[in-house]
Structure formats: C-alpha cells, structure tokens
C-alpha cells in the first residue's frame, strides 16, 4: 500500500504530567486537536504507526549512540518514567516486527540505520500514543533520532532518512501512518524551562508546512541552539517527516506556547501527495 | 571531570530496576562502581542538583534524579538556577556553548 497518514505533534512530559497547571482553555483546545488527530488517524485505517521521535536517554546513551535507530520488536513497554510524574499508566505497546524488518531492509539500501529489538518508551513516544492510540491497539514502530548527545546527524540526512522511509512504506502492502514528534523551540529541563520562541516556531512551521526543503535544511545547529534552545535540535524529527512527505503540504491544526508544558504545543497534518518520482511515472 | 561516568550512573539509575534497587539498599556500593570525583560524589550524595546541572548533566537525565530525590518541578528548576548563582556557568556538556543559560 503506502503512506496513509502523516503529521507532527508535541510530546513534552508536562502535557500530561503538569496538565492541571496549564491554562484550562488553551490546554483543552490543544487536547481537542490531538483528539482530532486521533480521529483522522483512525479514519486512515492504518495497519501500523511509525513514530519518529527523539528519546531522552531511555535506551540510548553515549556508550553506543546511534544517529538513527528503528524498533524491530513485537512489543514495547512504557513509560520508563515514574507514572505519577508523567501521569500515564505503564503499559505494553504492540509492535510490528515483520513490517519493521521489511522497512529497515528497504531503508538500508539508501541510509545507514541501527535497529533495536528491545526498547523502553519514554515520554517522547508515550505522550503521543496516550492521545493518538489511547487503547494501545495499533502496532507501533518507533524511530529514534539522536537529538541530545552531539555530534548530531545533519539535517539533510534526516530528510534522506524520511525519503527512504517513504519509499520503504510504498513498497509494503500494509497501510502505514507516520508521525514526527519533537521541538519546536524549547529549553526543557533547564533553568529556562518554559521559555518558547514563538516567532521562531511560526517561521519554522511555515517552512515545514510548505515542505520547503532548502529552507528547512538551511538551519544550523548554532543558530538553532541560540534561537530555539537545545530542544530545538528536535526539528530533526519534523525534517524527517518532511522528507517522508516530500511534495506534500501541511495544515496547522493547533499551535500555542504553553509555558508550563515547556513547549510551543503543535498539531499539524500533511495532505499527502505522491512522491515526485511517482508523479513523473504517472505522467 | 568525568561527566560521562556521572551521567551514566544517573542514566542507569533512571532506567534499570536492578540499579534502582542497589541505590535503595546500598548507595555507597553503587557509587563505587563509577569513576567519580570527590566533587561529583558530594553532588550526588547530597544531592546538589544545581551543581550537577553546572557540571553538565543533561536535564533529561537530571530531572528524573531530582524527582527521585523528592524535588517537585518548581524546586528542580530553582535548584538549577541556584546552582548557576553559586557555581557559575555550565562547565561541560550540551549546555556549555551558551554559557549562562538564564
């Protein structure tokens, strides 16, 4: 089949863990758009959900840090965090090992990957799943992009990874959904937690929604760190998603800075278009 | 400085139930398994969350140790700010390039 759904959303632990401290109207509007995304995902009748995330030292450490890693297990566990802290119950999440293996094999023709048959989900994946698959009944394939421990993968290679993922999805009979989750600007878990650069976020989102490759790949880590904090390095997840949906345009369903969540909360969905190569072949 | 070992201890404490058990039953024995300086050992034992931050421990690791040691969110943020006031800018790791973050 092919890619049947693609979007991006935030994953900050405060979204669930500090929910009671946010402005109720803003929080509820954000939650409503996450639920809208859940309904859109369900309407797409996906067989599996690929989550392109940026985990935070739950599985990967500087003793053996992959730039890109894809899960290849039948099941995963999460959250790794204290359940009272995150306010998401610990659970078992179904995987799709066979599909993972085929996607990884396909992608390896173009990009270098690590794979993992054991993976504990942290808030970076559990918060999205809490809203998108609250019954944990959709098989998940996790992807991790190292956004925490430099040296970090260049943005162009994140785009290339996304393209490779799209091609691998298109070669699979399953209906596949993909979400990216990260950033955008934020300074999480630091003294500047709660700081959000809304103007930077909106400028980035405009480029992301327009799938403007050259402009997205023009960001440097130095500029991102200065203007968007170390959390801004997670734009890699958005850029991988943009590579996966090359040629498509996106719709922004929600964006608002919510400081107690420590991030500009974002929900956006891509209107999927065929890849350029497919369009050329059909012409 | 042995930031790698300091972060590795906290990373394993955060994610490994066996390490957590050792922390609860024999903290000193656990600490002996890592190459830590006297200053790092003091910061871990006390705990001095602000000093751990200034030493360069990544917040995604540190926030869980702070929670384990009873720091609510606001107290955790304030402890890092106090660390910067007492010990100066972040010395190593991801946050070093910006120097004073606040």
Residue B12 lies in a domain: yes
- In this structure, what CATH number is given to the domain that contains residue B36? 1.10.700.10
Residue B9 lies in a domain: yes
Average pLDDT score, chain A: 95
Residue B18 lies in a domain: yes
What ipTM was reported for this prediction? Answer: 0.89
Domain count, chain A: 1
The domain containing residue B44 runs over which residues? 3-94
Given this model, what pLDDT does residue A183 score? 86
More confident residue, B56 or A282: B56
More confident residue, A98 or A282: A98
Are B97 and A225 in contact (CB < 8 Å)? yes
- In this structure, what CATH number is given to the domain that contains residue A79? 3.40.830.10
SS3 readout for chain A: CCEEEEEEECCCCHHHHCHHHCCHHHHHHHHHHHHHHHHHHHHCCCCEEEEEECCCCCCCCCCCCCCEEEECCCEEEECCCCHHHHCCCCEEEECCHHHHHHHHHHHCCCCCCEEECCCECCHHHHHHHHHHCCCCCCCEEEEEECCCCCCCCCHHHHHHHHHHHHHHHHCCCCCEEEEEECCCCCCCCCCCCCCCCHHHHHHHHHHHHCCCHHHHHCCCHHHHHHHHCHHHHHHHHHHHHHHHCCCCEEEEEEEEEEHHHCEEEEEEEEECCCCHHHHHHHC
pLDDT in tens, A139-154: 999 999 999 989 999 9
pLDDT in tens, B22-48: 999 999 999 999 999 999 999 999 999
Are B60 and A188 in contact (CB < 8 Å)? yes
Residue B84 lies in a domain: yes
Residue B22 lies in a domain: yes
**A156 touches B: beta carbon within 8 Å:** no
Domain count, chain B: 1
Given this model, what pLDDT does residue A59 score? 94
pLDDT in tens, A112-124: 999 999 999 999 9
The domain containing residue A220 runs over which residues? 3-282
Given this model, what pLDDT does residue A276 score? 58
**B81 touches A: beta carbon within 8 Å:** yes
pLDDT in tens, A233-245: 999 999 999 999 9
Residue B15 lies in a domain: yes
A277 pLDDT exceeds 80? Answer: no
Query: What is the pLDDT averaged over residues A39-43?
Result: 97
- The nearest CA of chain A is from the CA of B82 a distance in Å of 9
Given this model, what pLDDT does residue B2 score? 86
Nearest CA in chain A to B63: A189
Given this model, what pLDDT does residue B99 score? 44
Of A14, A148, A226, the CB nearest to B60: A148
Which of B55, B60, B70 should be substituted to probe chain A, the one whose Cβ sees the most A Cβ atoms within 10 Å?
A: B60
Chain B partners of A77 at a C-beta cutoff of 8 Å?
none
**A192 touches B: beta carbon within 8 Å:** yes
**B84 touches A: beta carbon within 8 Å:** yes
């Amino acid at each position: 089949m092919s890619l049947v759904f693609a979007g991006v959303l935030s994953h900050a632990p405060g979204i669930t863990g500090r929910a009671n401290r946010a402005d109720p109207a803003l929080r509820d509007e954000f939650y409503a758009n996450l639920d809208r995304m859940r309904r859109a995902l369900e309407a797409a009748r996906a067989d599996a959900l690929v989550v392109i995330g940026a985990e935070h030292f739950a599985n990967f450490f500087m003793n053996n840090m992959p730039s890109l890693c894809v899960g290849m297990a039948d099941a995963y566990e999460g959250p790794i965090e204290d359940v009272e802290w995150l306010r998401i119950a610990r659970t078992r999440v179904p995987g799709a090992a066979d599909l993972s293996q085929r996607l990884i094999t396909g992608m390896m023709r173009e990009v270098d990957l690590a794979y993992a048959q054991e993976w504990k989900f942290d808030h970076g994946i559990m918060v999205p799943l809490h809203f998108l698959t609250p019954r944990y009944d959709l098989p998940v394939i996790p992807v991790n992009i190292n956004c925490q421990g430099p040296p970090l993968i260049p943005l162009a290679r994140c785009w290339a990874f996304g393209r490779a993922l799209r091609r691998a999805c298109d070669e699979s009979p399953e209906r596949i959904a993909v979400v990216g989750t990260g950033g955008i600007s934020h300074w999480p878990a630091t003294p500047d937690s709660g700081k959000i650069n809304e103007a930077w976020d909106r400028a980035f989102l405009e480029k992301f929604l327009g799938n403007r490759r050259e402009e997205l790949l023009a960001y440097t880590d130095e500029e991102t760190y200065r203007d968007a904090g170390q959390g801004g390095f997670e734009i890699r997840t958005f850029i991988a998603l943009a590579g996966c949906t090359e040629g498509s345009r996106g719709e922004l369903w929600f964006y608002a800075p919510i400081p107690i969540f420590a991030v500009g909360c974002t929900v956006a969905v891509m209107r999927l278009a065929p890849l350029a190569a497919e369009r050329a072949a059909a012409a | 400085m042995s930031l790698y070992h300091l972060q590795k201890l906290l990373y394993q404490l955060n994610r490994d139930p066996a390490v957590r058990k050792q922390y609860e039953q024999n903290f000193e024995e656990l600490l002996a398994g890592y190459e830590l300086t006297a200053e790092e050992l003091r910061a871990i034992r006390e705990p001095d969350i602000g000093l751990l931050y200034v030493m360069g421990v990544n917040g995604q690791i540190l926030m869980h140790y702070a929670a384990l040691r009873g720091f609510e969110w606001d107290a955790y943020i304030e402890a890092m700010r106090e660390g910067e006031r007492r010990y100066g800018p972040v010395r190593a790791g991801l946050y070093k390039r910006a120097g004073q973050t606040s």
